């Protein structure tokens, strides 16, 4: 049994990364934005399991009015490059 406060669990969750695969509705994006902010959200599409979803997720992200252009760039690729710097050109 872990004997820590609920804040410990919330801090762990707030330091994780979340992807947009199959969860790009405005409600999910708003919840993620408020909980962790755009620096902890990465683009995800669940490809190849759901090939048609890639364009849907991209469209949902572009239509969501809560993200700035800079936020969208973080989510689209910059956060992933922070996680995997070896993939930078």
- 18 pairs with which residues across the strands? 41
| pLDDT in the model for residue 8 | 87
Identify which has the larger pLDDT, 35 or 21: 35
Q: How many whole angstroms separate alpha carbon 77 and alpha carbon 82?
A: 9
Q: How many whole angstroms separate alpha carbon 75 and alpha carbon 31?
A: 15
Query: pLDDT, tens digit, for every residue of 27-71?
Result: 999 999 999 999 999 998 777 766 677 778 888 888 899 999 999
Exposure b/e, 47-71, CB count within 10 A at least 16 = b: eeeeeebbeebbebbeebeebeeeb
Res. 16: pLDDT tops 90: yes
Mean pLDDT of the 5-10 span: 86
Res. 85: pLDDT tops 90: yes
């Amino acid at each position: 049994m872990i004997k820590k406060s609920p804040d410990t669990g919330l801090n762990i969750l707030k330091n994780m990364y979340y992807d947009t695969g199959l969860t790009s509705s405005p409600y999910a994006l708003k919840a993620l934005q408020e909980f962790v902010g755009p620096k902890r959200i990465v683009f995800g599409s669940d490809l190849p399991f759901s090939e048609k979803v890639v364009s849907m997720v991209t469209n949902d992200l572009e239509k969501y009015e809560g993200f700035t252009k800079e936020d969208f760039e973080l989510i689209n690729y910059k956060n992933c490059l922070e996680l995997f710097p070896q993939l930078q050109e």
